[in-house]
Amino acid sequence: MARSFAIKHQPGFTAIAATCFVVLYLPIVVLVAYAFNAATSTSEWGGFSLKWFQSAWQNSQVIDATLRSFQIGAVAAILATIFATMAALATTRTAPYRGLTFKYAAINQPLMVPEIVTGVALLIFFSRIKIFTGYSGLGYLIAAHTAFCIPFAYLPIRARLENMDLTLERAAADLYATPWQTFRRITLPLLWPGILAGLMLAFVISLDDVVITEFVKSGGQDTLPTYMLGQIRRGITPEINAISTVFLLLSVVIVTLFFFISRKRD
Amino acid sequence: MPDKPGRNAIEVKNVRKIFGTGEAQVAALDTVSVSIRENEFFTLLGPSGCGKTTLLRLIAGFDFPSAGEILLHGQDIASLPPFKRPVNTVFQSYALFPHMTVAENIGFGLEMLGKPKAEIKARVAEMLKLVKMEALSGRRTSQISGGQQQRVALARALAPQPKVLLLDEPLSALDYKLRKEMQIELKRLQHETGITFIFVTHDQEEALTMSDRIAVMSSGKILQVGTPWDIYDKPAERFVADFIGETNFLTAAIANIGNGKVRATLKSGATIDATVAEGFQPKDNATVVVRPEHAKLTNGKGELSGAVENIVYFGTDTHIHVRLDSGEAFTVRQQNTRSAGCGFERGDTVGISIGNDAAQVLRD
């Protein structure tokens, strides 16, 4: 019997795989290691210390930016998830019709349009509104984050809806449940893992955003990523490493939760 | 046959269901009318694609007819949504709610009807007892077997005491032995609850053993409605005779119509008495059917004669395939005994005697 083509058995596979992993993870390992450096340099090891974590914790600018990031992320993720859920219901609980594919594309547009274009467009658009209304609060950032988080929340919710057995909703209707009761008692509970997964994904995406935030934010509205970017321009201290390490830990926790929730079947 | 007025649970009147538009139009149901009586175990029987499930969906309210009326106890329900119809369904896939326990599933319909908690609890207990599932009431539906899921689906559909229970091939996912058990169980439940059952199946044996009456469907039409005995022994059309059991088709010249009886002259020249199908239009040549167990093989003379082509042993009986002198094929089913063989061998020249009340003339 001829052996089927298995990429694992091709010469050089191990080396290529190892190189990829090294390029991907070594810089992160180094970054995390130097977060515990006692020296002020990010290239010379001066012994183990937690002082940069302490210094970041006492830096009111860091705390402010972090809280702002969480605030924007939480509100935007919740809004995006609500819109995404409605969009997912509207695009799956319907017979296919002309233009449905166009709607998928429109909903997922932020995944395809370069962020920089969206950023510039929002900058111009919001500046007009700012002049017109005089309002310059966090609302702009929240609106922008909500918009680009929608596709990320939409995808896991739609996947779950598509895998759901439609007979269940029919059975509920057969057992005297009105459309709203069917949604409340059957669709929503079964959709819940998808919604939570979408919410977490949207939150992580919002926390991580630099480009659009950089364009949209007003003075004094730094989020954690834009604050870090600003600091790096003035030279890196291990404080940035410490903040990155905490950020990394947080992302890993959320993504792990996301993985377990979306794997849960019933 | 005339239906007794006021005793019909469901009346389907001239219902059409068209899928698609323009050129691609398909009539899933082509002007179907049928009355289903109260307390009846009524079966819609036919091959896949015959429209039986479409008709069931129209009665349940998952789909709406393109034309015609569906009456429930005299009231037109054809345009009501499913949650406003006092009709419940047992789905082929059971469709149990995976995030609820067995008891919650059974109580769901009553809860949606806004019944008080105490009443729901009592009714659920009663239903659990009816389907012998008391011990598993707290289980998730993923933690019970296929046969148990089937019972829960039944209990859930029966709990709100529907006027009519619809069953969409509910036994098709079960293995042979369990299916036999559930057939008896379904008959018992129907008898105990007194609810009208409308049962959809493609399995003719299931239909014959369980039903009070059967409607045989093909290509969106109901061909014949009758008791299992009617359908088996007095088929109206070739499709019905062929779909239900094995049978022999013979061409005959028909004469002397009167009182539902005719004299049919077979190609062999012999003449036999035959009953005629409802709606038979007098004509010279027609098809006569004779069930294999209603004919006898003889060594001497019979209405037909031919040569034995093949002998197949089935345990309870033996099927003897004969090629008639006219060229037609004919099968005789002979009951087996322990001591002797069937008494014939391949190549034997044999006669076939057809009993007095064995032949039926089809209308098509």
d(Cα A46, Cα A38) in Å, to the nearest integer? Answer: 5
Count of Cβ atoms closer than 10 Å to residue A217 Cβ: 19
Same domain, B250 and B282: yes
**Would the pLDDT of B105 be above 80?**
yes
Domains of chain A in start order, with CATH, are 60-263 (1.10.3720.10)
* Token reading at B197: 């059952």
Of the residues B59, B99, B169, the best mutation for testing chain A's interface (the one with the most A CB atoms within 10 Å of its CB) is B99
- Report the SS3 class of residue A5: coil
Q: What is the mean pLDDT of residues A189-193?
A: 91
For B84, the closest chain A residue by CA position comes to A176
- From residue A58, alpha-carbon distances to A55, A61, A100 in Å are 5, 9, 52
For B90, the closest chain A residue by CA position comes to A171
d(Cα A191, Cα A165) in Å, to the nearest integer? Answer: 11
Same domain, B87 and B219: yes
Q: What is the mean pLDDT of residues B72-83?
A: 92
Same domain, B199 and B264: no
- Type of residue found at B23: E
| Best CA proximity match to B158, nearest among A87, A112, A174, A236 | A174
d(Cα A153, Cα A83) in Å, to the nearest integer? Answer: 9
d(Cα A30, Cα A26) in Å, to the nearest integer? Answer: 6
Let me know: does B217 contact B45? Beta carbons within 8 Å.
Answer: yes
Rounded to two decimals, what is the model's pTM?
0.81
Residue B103 resides in a domain: yes
Tell me which residue range forms the domain holding B354: 246-361
Please name the residues in contact with A137: beta carbons below 8 A apart, sequence gap of 6 or more. none
**Would the pLDDT of B194 be above 70?**
yes
- Determine contact: B112 vs chain A, CB below 8 A: yes
Same domain, B187 and B256: no
Q: Domain end: B203, B233, B263, which one?
A: B233
Residue B6 confidence class, pLDDT cut points 50, 70, 90: very low
| Residue whose pair of structure tokens reads 């919650």 in the numeric block | B104
| Residue whose pair of structure tokens reads 């989020």 in the numeric block | A223
> Which B positions 130-149 lie with beta carbon below 8 A of chain A?
140, 142
Let me know: does B261 contact B273? Beta carbons within 8 Å.
Answer: yes
Tens-place pLDDT, residues B33-48 = 999 999 999 999 999 9
| Best CA proximity match to B92, nearest among B126, B52, B125 | B52
Same domain, B181 and B317: no
d(Cα B139, Cα B99) in Å, to the nearest integer? Answer: 11
Same domain, B276 and B149: no
| Best CA proximity match to B332, nearest among B288, B291, B275 | B291
Name the residue among A175, A189, A266 with its Cβ closest to that of B109: A175
- Type of residue found at A94: T
Same domain, B101 and B225: yes
Residue A151 confidence class, pLDDT cut points 50, 70, 90: very high
How high is the pLDDT of residue A264?
A: 62
Of the residues B63, B92, B97, the best mutation for testing chain A's interface (the one with the most A CB atoms within 10 Å of its CB) is B97
| Best CA proximity match to A205, nearest among A156, A265, A135 | A156
CATH code, B295:
2.40.50.140
Answer whether B113 sits within 8 Å of A176, measured CB to CB.
Answer: yes
Tens-place pLDDT, residues B309-320 = 999 988 889 999
How high is the pLDDT of residue B340?
A: 75
d(Cα B260, Cα B254) in Å, to the nearest integer? Answer: 12
**Would the pLDDT of A265 be above 60?**
no
d(Cα A168, Cα A170) in Å, to the nearest integer? Answer: 5
Same domain, B257 and B199: no
How high is the pLDDT of residue A149?
A: 93
Q: Quote the number of domains for chain B.
A: 2
Same domain, B214 and B280: no
